Amino acid sequence: KYNTRWEKRFGVSAEMISVIYNGVDTDIFSPGDKKNTNVPTVVSIARIDPIKDIITLIEATEIVVQEIPDVKVIVYGSVSVEEYYDECVKKVEELGLGENFILAGHTNDVPSAYLMGDIVAASSISEAFPYSVVEAMMCGKPVVSTDVGGIAEALGDCGILVTPRVPAELAEVIIKLLNDPE
């Protein structure tokens, strides 16, 4: 429903608007055993682009490492802005997170990528109705995400929302979820 604000802004009456949500194939995206069982792992499926705010996730990882030193944060996604990718790599190096933060690149097996993690994180500064949040939930993964666009609508009560561009808040929820096996 978040996206209907544009139709309403341009004068379309609410009675003329019908929301059709993005579909997710439940034969492909379904719960399964964690593939990376020995290490606390956070997965993010996001292209490397400033709008996905990977820098905030990197900065949150620095905080998480203080409490969970062996945590792995794996970002699966293609590079759409090369300069931003370089900035992310530099930030990982500056913070000494080479063992903890992995820019894994594009994957053709997104369901398996979700199953690599204990939780899924999304740090975007803008979204419409994100497939990554819905797909993660379909894989049975708890989600921590920034509260932007249609994410709250997609997530419902199946995850935790945080303020965009606040690494400490994102880190706090990641720690809370990783420390709670339930």
The distance from CA 31 to its chain's CA centroid, rounded to whole angstroms, is: 17
Residue 33 token pair: 């055993």
Asked if the model's pLDDT at residue 12 lies above 90, the reply is: yes
CB 45 within 8 A of CB 113: yes
**Average pLDDT rounded to a whole number, residues 84-111:** 98
Q: What is the pLDDT of residue 19?
A: 87
CB 139 within 8 A of CB 28: no
Query: 51 by DSSP, 3-state: which?
Result: helix
How would DSSP label each residue in 87-145? HHHHHHHHTT-TTTEEEEE--S-HHHHHHT-SEEEE--S--SS-HHHHHHHHTT--EEE
In this structure, of 25-34, 47-56, 67-76, 114-123, the range with the lowest mean pLDDT score is 25-34
pTM as predicted:
0.92
CB 99 within 8 A of CB 66: no
Measured between alpha carbons, how far is 36 from 95 in angstroms, rounded to an integer?
Answer: 24
Query: 76 by DSSP, 3-state: which?
Result: strand
Q: Which amino acid is at 101?
A: F
Asked if the model's pLDDT at residue 180 lies above 90, the reply is: yes
| Residue showing tokens 């420390």 | 179
Asked if the model's pLDDT at residue 89 lies above 90, the reply is: yes
Which pLDDT band holds residue 46 (cuts at 50, 70, 90)? very high
Asked if the model's pLDDT at residue 6 lies above 90, the reply is: no
Residue 3 or residue 107, greater confidence: 107
pLDDT in tens, 156-171: 888 999 999 999 999 9
Asked if the model's pLDDT at residue 37 lies above 80, the reply is: no
Portion of the chain with pLDDT greater than 70, in percent: 100
Which pLDDT band holds residue 3 (cuts at 50, 70, 90)? confident
Query: 162 by DSSP, 3-state: which?
Result: strand
Query: 84 by DSSP, 3-state: which?
Result: helix
Q: What is the pLDDT of residue 138?
A: 95
Query: 120 by DSSP, 3-state: which?
Result: strand
